[in-house]
Structure 1
Amino acid sequence: MRALPTFQDYVSFLGPIVPPADLLSDSDEADEMRTLAIELAVLEPVTVESLAAWIGGRPSAVRVLGLSVGLSKERLTNILKHSFDTGGFGRLARERPADVVALLDEQHGLVGVVQAQRSATFGFGDILVARAGTRGTASRAGQAGRVLEDRLEAVARDLGLRYSTRGRFRGRAGGTAPYDLGILDEHGEVVIAVAAKGFDSTGSKLTDAVREIEQMATVRKPTQFVFAAVDGIGWKLRKNDLRRIHALWADGQIDGVFSVATLHDFRLALEDAARRLDLV
């Protein structure tokens, strides 16, 4: 395993996890959304019935209608699940398109909003206002943790280790602590616990993340390993919190702190710990 870096060196490894949104994206998803927007712009007439027919079994069309009335993907899913006992866009687009449109029209004035927006002209300032008034940034910030977890999970899978995600492991004296990735022994017990704390925004959640890692260090048995993967530009604004995590490593209370930039070192450390525990 590489030598423990200084705190300043570790800070230099941090970077954004989720790339910024690109309005000019040429991804397949962006192209499909533009196509649907063009179709919606020329749809005549705009009624509950015509919108239901327009959905035509297309999950992305359901999302476009949600965006038309200012609903994020998460919020739209929750609303649909509450009303129809499922938040699956595909199933609802196939089986209950009229009910979806009726719900959005009743609760958010869908028909009127679509009619008004189709004839409006928007400038760059309107785009900035829309960005400021939506939860898009928060949504993307939430993706950062999941992206980091996926990268760590891929390493465990590539090494052929048995693992579970997002649970609690049992340590000494019956104490427990949370983990984001847990490597299991032959009995299904977590013997290597990994925290994945990726944040591209700042806030109290970073302090909560530190407490979780400290809890992991407190309950670990001598026969257990604890690693932390901490990354994202949000940590650069919470250096005191980050310093507490680095100190756990420096004091030997956890076995390593890594970032996306040092993912290869994480792989080496994880493989070494697995060999010591006769997992590989």
Structure 2
Amino acid sequence: MPSIPSFDEYLSSLGHLTAHVDPTASSPEAEDLKTAAASLAGLPEVTRESLSAWAKENPAWVPALGLSVGLSQEKLKNQLNHYLGSSGWRTLAKTRSSELVDVLDEYFDVVRLVEAQRVKTYDFGDLLVARAGTRQTAARAGASGRKVEDDIEEIVKHLNLPYEVRTRFVGRGGRTAPCDLVIPSTSEAAIAVAAKGFDSTGSKLTDAVREILEMAEVRTPRQFIIAVIDGIGWKMRQADLKRIYDLWESGQIDGMYTLASLDVFRSDVESAARLRGFLPQ
């Protein structure tokens, strides 16, 4: 097994899971947001430079730029923390407004979207599409979580290993724990994998930590227990991520990977499967 990276090295390897989707429309939710929208509409021209100056002058209105590209306040904070190391948009707007706008333009096309939306006339259909946006966001969040599961399942398929997904495995003393993939079966678990990918924060991250703690608690000495964890939502819950990392560092689980290190995941699973007789030596 390779040496364990530091927690900071693991943290820096977390990446995006959800693809950004261009919004069709956004509607103001408060008078302050309407004022911000009117201010953006009144800019003589929309460029990175003009938006940078606007953000520096109006730091409290930065969420309006986020909504212009379809980012809620939570998602905006997560993206800023991921790219700029801070989720505080007011401070960033005051001290690093050019970098803030550069991120929003490079990754979310803010210049084009602000220019296009500030002159567009919206109809009833646009209003319905905007109101349906929360359902679309929820669907994309579910898809992002499944991406990690799908990627590890594909690796196990290519190794021609028997497996079951989204189940519980039997460990020490007949106790069970949840897992997202188990080799070869729930009742004869030799390798159990947790797959936890989140680009946003919430109770699901707390549940993920609890599940991995359960896996470590019931494992037998012969069971190989590993976790694949990714998504920038974990950067806002570093204490929870550190609890899982500590299990790895102390040997209570056998591996911890991101999508960027799936080649190592594949190699470790293959080695564990050979040791347990599921693949020829």
Fraction of identical pairs, as percent? 55
Partners of 2:196 and 2:229 within 8 A in 1: yes
Distance 1:18 1:147 in 2: 9
1:214 is matched with which residue? 213
Letter in 1 for 2:200: S
Distance 2:211 2:248 in 1: 14
Q: Deviations over 1:127-153 (max 9, x none)?
A: 798168522222211111211101000
Q: Secondary structure at the match of 1:261?
A: helix
User: Where does the alignment leave 5 or more consecutive residues of structure 2 unmatched?
Assistant: 25-120
Change (3 A) 1:160 1:15: same
Size of the aligned set, in residue pairs, is: 182
Q: Secondary structure at the match of 2:220?
A: coil
Change (3 A) 1:128 1:239: farther
Letter in 1 for 2:265: F
Change (3 A) 1:218 1:238: same
Letter in 2 for 1:216: M
2:6 is matched with which residue? 6
2:203 is matched with which residue? 204
Distance 1:11 1:254 in 2: 18
Q: Secondary structure at the match of 2:204?
A: helix
Q: Secondary structure at the match of 1:135?
A: helix
Distance 2:20 2:199 in 1: 10
Change (3 A) 1:128 1:11: farther
2:137 is matched with which residue? 137
Letter in 2 for 1:148: V
TM (norm. structure 1) is 0.61
Change (3 A) 1:129 1:180: same
Correspondence 1:264 to 2:272: no
TM (norm. structure 2) is 0.61
Partners of 2:169 and 2:187 within 8 A in 1: no
1:154 is matched with which residue? 154
CA deviation after TM superposition for structure 1 residue 2, in Å: 2.1
Distance 1:225 1:256 in 2: 9
1:63 is matched with which residue? none
Q: Secondary structure at the match of 2:17?
A: coil
Change (3 A) 1:271 1:131: farther
| Residue pairs, 1:1-280, within 5 angstroms | 1-22=1-22, 122=122, 130=130, 134-184=134-184, 189-280=188-279
Change (3 A) 1:270 1:131: farther
Distance 1:15 1:238 in 2: 14
Q: Which has the larger radius of gyration?
A: 1
Distance 1:152 1:231 in 2: 12
Partners of 2:170 and 2:187 within 8 A in 1: no
Letter in 1 for 2:163: Y
CA deviation after TM superposition for structure 1 residue 245, in Å: 0.5
Q: Deviations over 1:160-210 (max 9, x none)?
A: 10011010000011110011011106x962210000000111011101100
Distance 2:278 2:233 in 1: 35
CA deviation after TM superposition for structure 1 residue 215, in Å: 0.1
Distance 1:157 1:7 in 2: 30
Letter in 1 for 2:162: R
CA deviation after TM superposition for structure 1 residue 22, in Å: 3.6
